[in-house]
Structure 1
Amino acid sequence: MDVIEANGLEFGYLAEGPADGPLALCLHGFPDSAHTWRHLLPALAAAGYRAVAPFMRGYAPTSVPADGAYQTGALAADANALHEALGGGPDAVLIGHDWGATAVYAAVGHEPGRWRRAVAMAVPPNPVLLSGFLTYEQLKRSFYIFVFQTPLGEMALNRAFVEGLWRDWSPGYDADRDVSHVMDCLSAPGNIAAALGYYRAMLDPSRHVAAYAAQQEAADRVGERPILYMHGVDDGCLNVEVAGGATGALPHLPPGSRVELVERAGHFLHLERPETVNAHILDWLAAER
């Protein structure tokens, strides 16, 4: 593991591939870690990319931000700052899952000149998400978000709870290794508060830090760079229909974007069906390279 400073934080990260290859930055979500990209990093490296997977802000060994900012705009600022710190060029690509996907939309929307293409998985653009989020079935799936708004969140976020989320979100997948990585990242109270902070900022805009206002605004508009969006058909976190199905996300993605639904995969589709997901990503990134 390596360490780099960007946007005022010290990021721990995993990396594979040639140092002079185009940057492929891979952003994880919740409850997850940079190790989630263990199948994709070597595939990207073999394709000539310098593949880098940071631990997101507040997830150990990355530092906890002093300003307490966990809004999408802050995550986007981190991605663009990491691009700068890692020496990325205009041929860089950005890949994100879950919270990492929300960072993708905002980062590419705010500074499109940094990124040639992008990939987002498991969380569609905000307009798609909001249109279906308040259905009864989806509210049941999203109970954890409301638990995290309360003081119970700190007590609830333990290994058993995380195991339950993985079991519900990706039925049939053996997540023991991944959960262990998650718990390493959330080993201190400050890290637990950070993971909850993403969700508390989601429903409480008063937690937003003004320094990230421009990036936050970019999260809600259609950008310029084409995005490949993928979603597992059996996703137990966010129903595939709520995510827009095969076409619903397209009007809210930049021109030239594409949607792929992955059969026999849940929320962590890149871990459950790595060969299929990797093939879609490498095919997408190869276009116009």
Structure 2
Amino acid sequence: MLDRRTFHKTIGLGTGAAAASLAGLPGVARAATGGTPAGRSGQTGGRAPAIPDLAPGTHTSFPRLKRIRAGVLDIGYAELGPAHGPVVVCLHGWPYDIHSYVDVAPLLADAGYRVLVPYLRGHGTTRFRSARTVRNAQQAAVALDILAFLDALRIDRAVLAGFDWGSRTAAIVAALWPERVKALVAVSGYLVTDRARQGEPLPPAAERPWWYQYYFATERGAKAMENKEYRQRLTRLVWDEVSPTWDFDDATFARTSAAFENPDYAAIVVHNYRWRLGLAEGERGYDRYEDRLATGPAVTVPALTLDADRDPFTANNGDGSGYRDKFTGPYAHRLLTGIGHNVPQEAPTAFAQAVVDVDHF
């Protein structure tokens, strides 16, 4: 088992209740459970409390943001809730930022959780501590950022919850370092990248939503991300396409797109998608972790997966069957109806309820 106190030095990166709880929850079509013993509860104990319904967009901002040195980064993050409450770390995706959780975080804080929402590398107020650090966005690097974040805050275990890049990152931490993860909420299920399989084509209709991934593989795409006007238009187009039922306004997009002005944003985004396709190299220091991830390690901690029926990336009608075998601990799956890709911002009550419920498995 890797010693969490020394893993940064080791790789040379610096120091540093499932169905019952668904009653009356808006947007939830169905729930499937598996591997959750009847009556089991986590360390939080007792029945999971019901999260009050909250209209998306009720909140628009976080309190003053914080920063902390963590591994190779100076991480900017929002924090809500009691300082000694059970910890939940909420991880955003692309092209999004911490505002995906602007309604979820207060709901969880009111339920007694200490909620931490960090900007991922290349986003918002998060900065690399050294100009010499490679602007690398391979999956192991992003996951180790979150371990460094927990270490810097002296947090031994936390519930991890995420979507898109955040879902992948949370699942990686849960799979490789389960002792650090109390429970997991993962939108779209098991997203750990298998680079060997990335070389094989999907059916054409399934390839279509990934147009930007192939665009970023070209120098034209990289230049578009470096150009502020095109970056804004491109990311806004992605929002419209992957969340067709989300009625967000210009101000909502503007609050998030401010995070895309990070000086390393374009480099991080382009490297992430090129690395997935085998078009960009990673760093040798992460090889040991990528080798383990290439085996498709199972997630053994309590997990609840979410699919959204209006998300173009949702597969198998949202039943979760394509990744069910990757979750071997207490488990539940839910399908959200009328919801697109940005699940926590489009359906904050359902997302927050998933966090509370999985913490009571």
Task: Identify unmatched segments of 5+ residues in structure 1.
Answer: none
**Correspondence for 1:10:** 74
**Correspondence for 2:358:** 284
Structure 1 counterpart of 2:247, from 167, 171, 174: 174
Is the contact between residue 23 and residue 49 of structure 1 (CA under 8 Å) also seen in structure 2? yes
TM-aligned CA deviation for residue 206 of structure 1 = 4.9
C-alpha spacing 1:82/1:203, structure 2 compared with 1 (3 Å): same
TM-aligned CA deviation for residue 154 of structure 1 = 2.9
Three-state SS of the structure 2 residue aligned to 1:186 is helix
**Correspondence for 2:125:** 61
Percent identical = 26
Q: Does 1:231 align with 2:307?
A: yes
Q: Does 1:258 align with 2:325?
A: no
**Correspondence for 2:162:** 96
C-alpha spacing 1:155/1:189, structure 2 compared with 1 (3 Å): farther
Which structure has more relative contact order (CA 8 Å, sep 6+)? It is 2
**Correspondence for 1:35:** 99
C-alpha spacing 1:189/1:217, structure 2 compared with 1 (3 Å): same
TM-aligned CA deviation for residue 93 of structure 1 = 0.9
Amino acid at match of 1:269: V
TM-score calculated relative to the size of structure 1: 0.90
Query: 2 CA distance for matches of 1:30 and 1:135?
Result: 23
Is the contact between residue 250 and residue 257 of structure 1 (CA under 8 Å) also seen in structure 2? no
User: After alignment, is 210-219 or 35-44 more displaced?
Assistant: 210-219
Write the mapping of 1:96-245 to structure 2, written as runs, cut at 5 A.
96-122=162-188, 124-126=190-192, 134-157=202-225, 158-175=231-248, 176-204=250-278, 206-219=280-293, 220-236=296-312, 238-241=313-316, 245=319
Query: 1 CA distance for matches of 2:352 and 2:201?
Result: 28
Encode CA deviations 1:106-158: one digit per residue, 9 max, x unaligned.
Answer: 11112111111111113633489959971111111111100011111233331
User: After alignment, is 136-145 or 266-275 more displaced?
Assistant: 266-275
Query: 1 CA distance for matches of 2:143 and 2:289?
Result: 6
Amino acid at match of 1:69: N
Q: Does 1:21 align with 2:94?
A: no
Query: 2 CA distance for matches of 1:15 and 1:67?
Result: 28
Three-state SS of the structure 2 residue aligned to 1:88 is coil
User: After alignment, is 211-220 or 114-123 more displaced?
Assistant: 211-220
User: After alignment, is 148-157 or 215-224 more displaced?
Assistant: 215-224
Task: Identify unmatched segments of 5+ residues in structure 2.
Answer: 1-64, 226-230
Query: 1 CA distance for matches of 2:328 and 2:170?
Result: 12
Higher share in helix: 1
C-alpha spacing 1:116/1:214, structure 2 compared with 1 (3 Å): farther
Query: 2 CA distance for matches of 1:125 and 1:234?
Result: 18
CA RMSD of aligned residues (A): 2.3
Three-state SS of the structure 1 residue aligned to 2:137 is coil
Query: 2 CA distance for matches of 1:233 and 1:281?
Result: 20
Amino acid at match of 1:68: R
Encode CA deviations 1:145-185: one digit per residue, 9 max, x unaligned.
Answer: 00011111233331111111111100131343442133212
